[in-house]
């Protein structure tokens, strides 16, 4: 049970990022993968690339690798849930 004082404080707190996530219109939340992959690639490659002139090319390649890997993993999990789990009787 939540104490009344805590419930009132939470109600007046406004947006709570982990408890009330932002909803994107039209179910486009999956598009956040592209900037996330790009930023991870920039940070990782900024530390690892020996020549800074090659940084943009390395970042784009790594971003593409991350996005493709996530799409393939999502398709694989979708196939497992759609076909394999029902075949096992789950």
Structural domain includes residue 42 = yes
For residue 14, tell me if it sits in a domain: no
| 1, pLDDT greater than 90 | no
14-36: pLDDT as tens digits:
778 888 877 788 888 888 999 99
Owning domain of residue 53? 24-87
Indicate the number of domains in the chain: 1
pLDDT in tens, 43-52: 999 999 999 9
Is the pTM higher than 0.85? The answer reads no
Q: Read off φ and ψ for residue 70, nearest 5 degrees.
A: -65, -40
Residue 1 lies in a domain: no
Q: 61: closest CA among 44, 40, 41? A: 41
Within a domain: 3: no
- pLDDT single digits (tens) 63-74: 999 999 999 999
Kindly state whether residue 68 falls inside one of the protein's structural domains: yes
Q: Does 8 map to a domain?
A: no
The answer to whether residue 16 sits within a structural domain is: no
């Amino acid at each position: 049970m939540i104490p009344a004082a805590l419930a009132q404080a939470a109600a007046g707190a406004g947006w709570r990022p982990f408890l009330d996530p932002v909803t994107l219109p039209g179910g486009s939340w999956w598009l956040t993968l592209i900037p996330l992959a790009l930023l991870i690639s920039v940070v990782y490659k900024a530390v690892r690339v020996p020549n800074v002139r090659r940084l943009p090319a390395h970042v784009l390649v790594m971003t593409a690798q991350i996005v493709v890997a996530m799409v393939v993993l999502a398709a694989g999990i979708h196939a497992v849930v759609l076909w394999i789990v029902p075949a096992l009787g789950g």
